[in-house]
Structure 1
């Protein structure tokens, strides 16, 4: 007999805003927007007080300030967001048998099989309480038999609440919800479904599948089954140990500082290029030095999640100078990044990201076409 699945979805409420409030409690209860400047960039997130005026994530800042001119604009503290995200990750990792870090502030936990030893809802409540006690941040969760229902339950539980959808009650939970809250339904599909007269997920679930296929197409089968509460996506184990590295054993041992710095910059650029190609960011950078007698030393540093050369290179240089025994020749030099995550978009929505990301995309396109050494920073030549 197949085990009953239990999946919890955790989501830190208005995460960036709440971290800013921890830093400055006087901001509590005020309309807050984290994002770019008043007339450029997009809203990263906003407080519930700002949402009452129609402000929403990904909205152009200019429009957001028109809707809520009294909002307090915050530029964002990437290092603090990374710090608190790590805290929550460590708390969950210490307790959960299997978890997936979906983003900087969002986690799935698979506790299937633990119901032999613990009551699933009680265990999940206790984990939430531990997170809130240690971080002082609000967090919501949904508990259900699959990832889709768990996430949608979290959305219904917000802000700072929790909701369990019991096994067998998935369709009943979904039925009254408007189609706009249906996970994975985009604007185009939503428009088509409204044109068919559907307003709730229940309307879709009760519609004959063969008729739906004629109007919606190939997507209809998956859509209809999900409207029944069926979803089979697995929780993918989170591994922080994965890394990307680049190192070079020199033909001749050297203490030529200009050469060593150029090599360090080149290696860091290659690592950053690979990060961007993999759509990942790194939360830790390490430098390795091997001397002629084969003695090998390394030093690492936690960093705000990034995949940009200009943010990684200064850290690599600092670590090198902290590690290097002045005047000694070096046989091998290496750079490694770890704590890899796909949090790129969320953690990098600051400092005019569109312009910066566009610049790096152009550089990466040249490297893809003409080779990775085709373009480099001034310090790498």
Structure 2
């Protein structure tokens, strides 16, 4: 029993990061795609078509995530493009997390293709490295999917370590190794430091992660607020966050957005999109059994200028009709008349419906009962005659499915 490999007072955390997940799933499903430049993207004929992920062969040709399809094709004419297959990715993700849970119940999914394991109490299963090797081999053997794993005393360092060797890498990162391994890197390479934050840090002479680790705390807090202190701690390898299996139950907002095929001022087209987005948000709320107390509308104009407007509600909402009515009113009130490029609707202050205790007076109860009866009748008609019985569809079924925040929705599968 390798007790000596486990700290007496600290923790041992694994971060599992699947390599080119969507593309790898497609290759596992169709082995003929292996070794070829492959990318997963939206409809390449529409402006929304961007690269979601790509294989390492495609990346070697310059293809990157969020790149426009036309640009990717120019860099790699032989690029194979496939649309996302969400059901396939969900199934693979669920199996991956099941394999993690066979090691320890302390598993925290972060997104569809990455998660943390706290193996501090798993000494009877072997050394941390032996556990990581077995998990990596098991995922590859059962699912034919590659992954990289970071081993460290906390979540931040474990995530940093998993990025160091890809694909199929396993990296151990200890705090005492930070001055030689992490600190020489550019500050923008550190997890949690975005482009804008990196630029701000450079303005006060912080160019490397080492600079950040040794920076004046007062200067950092003056520049970035509490986030400055947090980033300084991370740069020094400090992270007290536990691996929390219950984190999958936390959500504060549920939304959906869509870029139009073309800039438009057509109010009928805009109304149809708002209706489609509202129905999509309703589906996500139902999936999570949630409701919210606020609606936010996001408008992005033809010149990329973006505005968000919101409304706090006295009662919770979770039905598409309510969401649509409020979002439409927000749009009519705040639209400046210019061509619209993108719209988004978000239900805010969301929570589990079981946690919502609504006090209904007689009038409210009667109205709620009437609406519940109406909604049940509509759902029955939709089941019998199809979902597009009342509203002209703006997008195809597959496109509508892509409007969901899929990286978050997968958590519902994990909880089942």
- TM-score normalised by structure 1 residue count: 0.63
Residue number in structure 1 paired with 2:286:
274
Residue number in structure 1 paired with 2:37:
31
Structure 2: 5+ residue stretches without partners: 1-6, 251-279, 292-318, 321-340, 349-366, 384-389, 391-416
Over 3 Å counting, the alpha-carbon distance change for 1:28 and 1:71 in structure 2 is same
Please state how far the C-alpha of 1:146 moved relative to its aligned partner. 0.7
Over 3 Å counting, the alpha-carbon distance change for 1:231 and 1:74 in structure 2 is same
Return the alpha-carbon distance in structure 2 between the equivalents of residues 91 and 116 of structure 1. Answer: 17
Residue number in structure 2 paired with 1:15:
21
Over 3 Å counting, the alpha-carbon distance change for 1:216 and 1:79 in structure 2 is closer
Residue number in structure 2 paired with 1:346:
none
Over 3 Å counting, the alpha-carbon distance change for 1:10 and 1:117 in structure 2 is closer
Q: Is the 8 A contact 1:4 1:113 kept in 2?
A: no
Over 3 Å counting, the alpha-carbon distance change for 1:59 and 1:270 in structure 2 is closer
Over 3 Å counting, the alpha-carbon distance change for 1:62 and 1:96 in structure 2 is same
Q: Equivalent of 1:84, from 83, 92, 98?
A: 92
Over 3 Å counting, the alpha-carbon distance change for 1:197 and 1:64 in structure 2 is farther
Please state how far the C-alpha of 1:58 moved relative to its aligned partner. 2.7
Deviations 1:238-296 (A, max 9, x none): 69999xxxxxxxxxxxxxxxxxxxxxxxxx997753336859xxxxxxxxxxxxxxxxx
Deviations 1:278-327 (A, max 9, x none): 59xxxxxxxxxxxxxxxxxxxxxxxxxxxx99xxxxxxxxxxxxxxxxxx
Residue number in structure 2 paired with 1:379:
382
Return the alpha-carbon distance in structure 1 between the equivalents of residues 343 and 115 of structure 2. Answer: 29
Return the alpha-carbon distance in structure 2 between the equivalents of residues 379 and 274 of structure 1. Answer: 16
Residue number in structure 1 paired with 2:213:
205
**What's the secondary structure of 1:9's corresponding residue?**
strand
Return the alpha-carbon distance in structure 1 between the equivalents of residues 79 and 282 of structure 2. Answer: 41
Residue number in structure 2 paired with 1:133:
141
CA-atom RMSD, angstroms? 3.7
Over 3 Å counting, the alpha-carbon distance change for 1:278 and 1:230 in structure 2 is farther
Please state how far the C-alpha of 1:175 moved relative to its aligned partner. 0.9
Please state how far the C-alpha of 1:47 moved relative to its aligned partner. 1.0
Return the alpha-carbon distance in structure 1 between the equivalents of residues 131 and 9 of structure 2. Answer: 18
Please state how far the C-alpha of 1:81 moved relative to its aligned partner. 1.5
**What's the secondary structure of 2:158's corresponding residue?**
helix
Return the alpha-carbon distance in structure 1 between the equivalents of residues 54 and 213 of structure 2. Answer: 34
Residue number in structure 2 paired with 1:220:
228
Return the alpha-carbon distance in structure 2 between the equivalents of residues 187 and 142 of structure 1. Answer: 24
Deviations 1:89-142 (A, max 9, x none): 221111224111112111210011334763222122122212211111111100
Q: Is the 8 A contact 2:206 2:215 kept in 1?
A: no
Please state how far the C-alpha of 1:157 moved relative to its aligned partner. 1.6
Residue number in structure 2 paired with 1:263:
none
Please state how far the C-alpha of 1:170 moved relative to its aligned partner. 4.2
Q: Is the 8 A contact 2:119 2:128 kept in 1?
A: yes
Please state how far the C-alpha of 1:14 moved relative to its aligned partner. 0.5
Return the alpha-carbon distance in structure 2 between the equivalents of residues 278 and 55 of structure 1. Answer: 38
- TM-score normalised by structure 2 residue count: 0.58
**What's the secondary structure of 1:95's corresponding residue?**
coil
Alignment of 1:137-148 (within 5 A): 137-148=145-156
Residue number in structure 2 paired with 1:162:
170
Structure 1: 5+ residue stretches without partners: 243-267, 280-307, 310-354
Alignment of 1:163-312 (within 5 A): 163-237=171-245, 272-275=284-287
Q: Equivalent of 2:51, from 40, 43, 49?
A: 43
**What's the secondary structure of 1:157's corresponding residue?**
coil
Q: Is the 8 A contact 1:101 1:238 kept in 2?
A: no
Return the alpha-carbon distance in structure 1 between the equivalents of residues 139 and 198 of structure 2. Answer: 36
Return the alpha-carbon distance in structure 1 between the equivalents of residues 53 and 289 of structure 2. Answer: 26
Residue number in structure 2 paired with 1:317:
none
How many residue pairs get aligned? The number is 277
Residue number in structure 2 paired with 1:122:
130
Identify which range, 111-120 or 134-143, moves more after superposition.
111-120
